[in-house]
């Protein structure tokens, strides 16, 4: 079994044994809930791109810029709040992140311009990135190596659950006859964050690994700086981890950002009908997250990533082109059971292969020591979303040139490259996390 070098003989025993199984599951539950409503607030915007553009009398490209700023903010939040998590603790950073993304989402309901909406979504993005950094480190540090990826897979289902919940919220609160109904949607989407904040405060436990590492950090303040992850001993791993994240995020954010608009444009489904198909995507993703967690414990992190990236490379064009082959009636996809099952099954299979997101938290946590674990993980994972900005900014440019379907399908190229690149990082299956550095 691989072990992060410990600072003292006792360091290797710190962590898992200091929390009862019940405490571990409650802490995992709090992290899951925080990630669930984080995903709700992160993905809800995809359902209102067109109606927001209409409200403020701007083009789709202007609203997509709001998404680009959001993605940039997740990178900033993942990096800086991740570093804060290494300094003040995982729990406090999670609480701060939940409060900020809830408040930012609430303020979106009262935006009077695209500029204001962009500012509020930027704050949501900072918190989304910060939440993942802290929660990924916490879950990784409280779980033994034999079940770490499975535990993180359970936490990751919060993202698919939140995405599914955003679809349910959109279906429930968006009204095609009321162009201002998107404001109500944001108000309701913000409420669960405050309830989650109370749960974390009362029930979630701080990581014993981080607590045991405080003495080391007090004696080595330079070890937890923002630039530590770029030192020679970590630079290669940081760069490769970031590159894999960028490639995985590039395709994912093209799909999640534009799928509602794609269905509305290609199949002429109504704004309140598109969420039904996103629900199928969320169901498939939930199964995929759990399947990845199981597979990674059996065959390792790298090979599991390669399999799921390969699956995405195939499914993206299959979904995009299959959607165009479904017969329309009077230029519109009828909302029949047969059509829902047909398109929904394709969406579920596409969602299944996004299960690779279960792997980032455990893998990155195992690649870096405790003093920079949250900083490094947060940077590599969340700045991957920043790289995805290029994809979502290109989509409105490419659509008039090659069409919506071909543009969406190009996302598969990034997955092919990612499937190869994962083998440049070491396999970390079985790594024991300790308070040592």
Q: Confidence band (pLDDT; 50, 70, 90) for 436? A: low
> What pLDDT is stored for residue 221 in this prediction?
62
Q: What gap in Å lies between CA 154 and CA 135, rounded to an integer?
A: 12
Q: What gap in Å lies between CA 45 and CA 135, rounded to an integer?
A: 23
Any idea what DSSP says for residue 221? G
Q: What gap in Å lies between CA 94 and CA 79, rounded to an integer?
A: 14
Q: What gap in Å lies between CA 159 and CA 420, rounded to an integer?
A: 26
Q: Are 169 and 378 in contact (CB under 8 A)?
A: no
Q: Confidence band (pLDDT; 50, 70, 90) for 435? A: low
- Per the model's pLDDT, the better-predicted residue between 51 and 330 turns out to be 51
- Per the model's pLDDT, the better-predicted residue between 63 and 416 turns out to be 416
Q: Which residues contact residue 252 at a Cβ distance below 8 angstroms, ignoring those fewer than 6 apart?
A: 354, 357, 388
Enter the tokens of residue 297: 């414990």
Q: What is the dihedral of CA 64, 68, 73, 78, to 10 degrees?
A: 120
Q: What gap in Å lies between CA 206 and CA 154, rounded to an integer?
A: 19
Q: Confidence band (pLDDT; 50, 70, 90) for 286? A: very high
Percent of the chain residues past pLDDT 70, beyond the cut: 92
Helix ranges, 300-336 (H):
301-325
Q: Tens digits of per-residue pLDDT, 16-34?
A: 567 788 899 999 999 999 9
Q: Which of 143-157, 324-338, 404-418 has the lowest mean pLDDT?
A: 324-338
> What pLDDT is stored for residue 393 in this prediction?
80
Q: Tens digits of per-residue pLDDT, 144-194?
A: 888 899 999 999 999 988 988 888 898 889 887 888 999 999 999 999 999
Q: Confidence band (pLDDT; 50, 70, 90) for 5? A: very low
> What pLDDT is stored for residue 303 in this prediction?
97
> What pLDDT is stored for residue 437 in this prediction?
52
Q: Confidence band (pLDDT; 50, 70, 90) for 124? A: very high
Which among 9-13, 68-72, 184-188 has the top mean pLDDT? Answer: 184-188
User: Among 284, 286, 337, 289, which Cα is nearest to 315's?
Assistant: 284
User: Among 309, 293, 297, 292, which Cα is nearest to 248's?
Assistant: 309
- For residue 270, count other CB atoms closer than 10 A to its CB: 13
> What pLDDT is stored for residue 271 in this prediction?
62
Question: Is the confidence at residue 13, as pLDDT, over 50?
Answer: no
Q: Confidence band (pLDDT; 50, 70, 90) for 2? A: very low
* Domains of the chain: residue spans and CATH: 20-424 (1.20.1250.20)
Mean predicted lDDT score pLDDT of the chain: 87
Question: Is the confidence at residue 345, as pLDDT, over 70?
Answer: yes
User: Among 352, 377, 420, which Cα is nearest to 153's?
Assistant: 352
How buried is 234 (Cβ within 10 angstroms: 0-12 exposed, 13-18 middle, 19+ buried)? Answer: middle
Report the pLDDT averaged over residues 365-371. 90
């Amino acid at each position: 079994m691989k072990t992060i070098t410990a600072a003292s003989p006792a360091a290797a025993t710190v962590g898992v044994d200091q929390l009862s199984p019940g405490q571990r599951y409650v802490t995992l539950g709090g992290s899951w809930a925080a990630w669930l409503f984080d995903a709700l607030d992160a993905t809800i915007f995809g359902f209102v791109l067109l109606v927001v553009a209409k409200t403020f009398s701007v083009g789709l490209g202007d609203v997509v810029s709001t998404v680009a700023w959001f993605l940039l903010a997740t990178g900033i939040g993942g990096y800086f709040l991740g570093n804060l998590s290494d300094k003040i603790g995982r729990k406090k950073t999670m609480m701060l992140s939940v409060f900020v993304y809830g408040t930012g989402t609430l303020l979106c309901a009262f935006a009077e311009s695209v500029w204001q909406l962009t500012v509020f979504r930027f704050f949501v993005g900072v918190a989304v990135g910060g939440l993942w950094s802290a929660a990924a480190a916490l879950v990784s540090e409280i779980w033994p190596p034999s079940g770490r990826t499975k535990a993180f897979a359970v936490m990751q289902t919060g993202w698919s659950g939140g995405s599914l919940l955003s679809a349910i919220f959109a279906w429930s609160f968006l009204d095609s006859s009321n162009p201002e109904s998107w404001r109500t949607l944001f108000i309701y989407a913000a409420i669960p964050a405050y309830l989650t904040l109370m749960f974390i405060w009362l029930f979630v436990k701080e990581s014993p690994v981080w607590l045991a590492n405080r003495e080391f950090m007090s004696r080595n303040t330079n070890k937890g700086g923002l630039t530590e992850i770029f030192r020679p001993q970590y630079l290669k791993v940081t760069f490769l981890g970031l590159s894999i994240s960028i490639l995985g995020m590039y395709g994912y954010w093209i799909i999640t950002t534009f799928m509602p608009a794609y269905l509305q444009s290609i199949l002429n489904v109504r704004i309140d009908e598109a969420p039904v198909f996103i629900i199928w995507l969320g169901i498939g993703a939930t199964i995929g997250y759990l399947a990845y967690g199981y597979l990674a414990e059996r065959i390792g992190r790298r090979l599991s990533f390669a399999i799921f990236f390969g699956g995405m490379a195939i499914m993206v064009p299959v979904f995009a082109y299959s959607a165009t082959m479904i017969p329309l009636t009077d230029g519109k996809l009828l909302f029949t059971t047969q059509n829902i099952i047909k398109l929904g099954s394709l969406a579920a299979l596409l969602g299944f292969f996004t299960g690779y997101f279960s792997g980032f938290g455990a893998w990155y946590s195992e690649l870096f020591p405790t003093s920079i674990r949250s900083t490094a993980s947060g940077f590599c994972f969340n700045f991957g979303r920043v790289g995805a900005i290029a994809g979502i900014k290109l989509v409105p440019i490419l659509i008039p040139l090659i069409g919506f379907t071909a543009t969406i399908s190009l996302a598969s190229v990034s997955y092919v490259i990612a499937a190869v690149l994962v083998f440049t990082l070491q396999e970390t299956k079985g790594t024991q996390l300790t308070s040592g550095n």
